[in-house]
Chains A and B, each alone.
Chain A
Amino acid sequence: MRRSGLGGLALTSPWVATFALFWVFPVLYSLYIGCTDYRLLVQGYEWVGLDNYRQLLNDPDFTGALKNTFIFVLGTIPITTVVALVMALLVNRRFKGRTIFRSAFFIPSITSMVVVALIFTSLYERGGYIALLAELVGLTPPQHGFLFDSSTALYSIMAMDIWMSVGYYMLIFVAGLKAIPDELYEAAEISGASTVRQFFSITLPLLRPVALFVIVINSIKSFQVFVEIFVMTKGSFDTSTAVYFVYEEGLTTAFRIGYASAAAYLLFATIALFSVCQFLLMRRRMTTW
């Protein structure tokens, strides 16, 4: 009874067209370009096969950027996940002012990344607020400010990122907590299980799928960290990341389009591998439980 074919085609054509032109084509084109020595300002280019990839793995700028990206991902994700879960537990039950707290916690994640990066740049300045707090608890802040010191810059940006994203993942955990049936807790209550016991035997196992979602989504996003690096440090003080490297190589000074495309693909492969590993690891744990 469905008039398939033409009717459906007319409706989907705008998506198919923009999708093909601005997504499929660029993705494939970039795979091809990544195997050439294409530079924007140089006429003509040659096929170099996997040379770019080989060169990337020996390029200290790229491996350094990749190392920073891994520090960023591995450092922020456990903290963000745990803090978001704690916040979700705090605002989950009904109490006075719950909506106010929940909204306030969520607001940073709807704020523009550029604005957040600017605000924190001012807070991290020499003699700024964070330096003041550090002095209050007896630490010596870096002499030129947190973003102008290789030993603190990347970690300062990571802290900001955690601040910004916990609210979003908190909301997802809250939705996950709501999906757990009340009867389970009632039954546990009757059999005398403590709140702590309930948390570890009911809440945590049943939140696994949600936690997996949070971790995978957050990893994919964090591997691509760029905006905050651009606004806050421009990659200096050992804060360059993989996407920042792609931008710098491909779209500034030398315009090494081919080399940058290969770097983007190498990061893509890393992300894909990482996601698959997370998936397998979490799923195996889930079935053995």
Chain B
Amino acid sequence: MVGSKRAVGESIRYLLLIMVLVVMIFPLLWMFRVAFMESGSSISWHAVVGSGWTLGNFMDLFASGGLGRPLFNSVLVGSVVTVGNILFCFMVAYALARYRSMTNRLLFSTVILVLMIPAHIVIVPLYLICLRAGLYDTYWALILPWLVNPIGIFLVKQYIESIPESMEEAARVDGAGEFRILFQVVMPLCKPALAVLAIQVFFTNWNSFLFPFILTSHDSLRTLPVALALYQGHQAIDWQHLMAGSAVAVLPVLVVFLLMQRQLVSGITAGAIKQ
């Protein structure tokens, strides 16, 4: 009796799970399906089910150059910003974790403060500053403001504080300079935290639309999300090509997430639960 009751409970659980699953993944499956459809047809239910499969949409996008440049920009900007964040977040986090001076404590409170100020407040002034400083419509506008981020500092600082200082002391006794201790002793120990940071920064940047959009206007500087959002406006919506471009934007995120989900998930929730 108890057994059958449990079986009913389990079935209900799976039924619910499968319903949620269908709702959650259908839109993405839809995107991939339309991306591989023959172009030129409508995307009505019949057309989508009945159409054949083709790589043509992807070929067209790369051949026309409409996708190549934004893809290059996204990779370039993302890589530079990621390297910058690894280096600078690590340096700042180390200083905050190990040099406990008054100024540093003050700095750390500003890190927390920044996390609480909504980003929309800088839309107008950042646009204006970039315009006046000659950064507008250059790669600098896409890179410079994003080289260090407070969440990264926060995560790495917590990680460094969990590492015993004895390693550094030992290196110091052996006569290693501060620079060497920083980059050859502590940094390798922080690899797990820095890897999570790198992936988070890269994909946040990869998906970012608002600031790349307002800080550039030239086609040659468009990143992938910006190019996709503006592609729609040009003519009557060409869903097959638009979804092919979208698939290119989603695929790297999906692959990296599925390969590294355990580390990423713990990184995402660590900050939330510590509060």
Contacts and interface: CB of A to CB of B under 8 A. Distances in A.
Interface of A: 2-5, 7-9, 11-12, 14-16, 18-19, 21-23, 25-27, 29-30, 33, 40, 87, 90-91, 95, 99, 101, 103-108, 110-123, 125, 127-129, 132, 163, 167-168, 171-172, 174-176, 179, 209-210, 213, 217, 220, 223-224, 226-227, 230-231, 242-243, 246-247, 250-251, 257, 260-261, 264-265, 267-268, 271
Q: Which of B101, B213, B272, B273 has the most CB of A within 10 A?
A: B272
Contacts of B122: 22-23, 26-27, 30
Q: Which of A117, A119, A257 has the most CB of B within 10 A?
A: A119
Nearest to B94: A11
Report whether over half of chain B's contact residues are helix, strand or loop; otherwise say mixed: helix
Given A210-B272, A268-B117, A268-B118, 13 more contacts: A4-B99, A19-B114, A22-B144, A26-B122, A29-B129, A91-B17, A101-B21, A112-B246, A118-B242, A121-B232, A174-B269, A175-B269, A246-B123
B263 interface: no
B269 A12 contact: no
B253 interface: yes
B98 interface: yes
A90 B16 CA distance: 8
B44 A127 contact: yes
B200 to A, nearest CB: 10
Nearest to A1: B169
A217 to B, nearest CB: 8
B114 A105 contact: no
Nearest to B135: A22
Nearest to B96: A12
Contacts of B159: none
A261 B118 contact: no
Contacts of A33: 124-125, 128
A12 B95 contact: yes
A90 to B, nearest CB: 6
A12 B104 contact: yes
A114 B229 contact: yes
B11 to A, nearest CB: 12
B250 A264 contact: no
A14 to B, nearest CB: 5
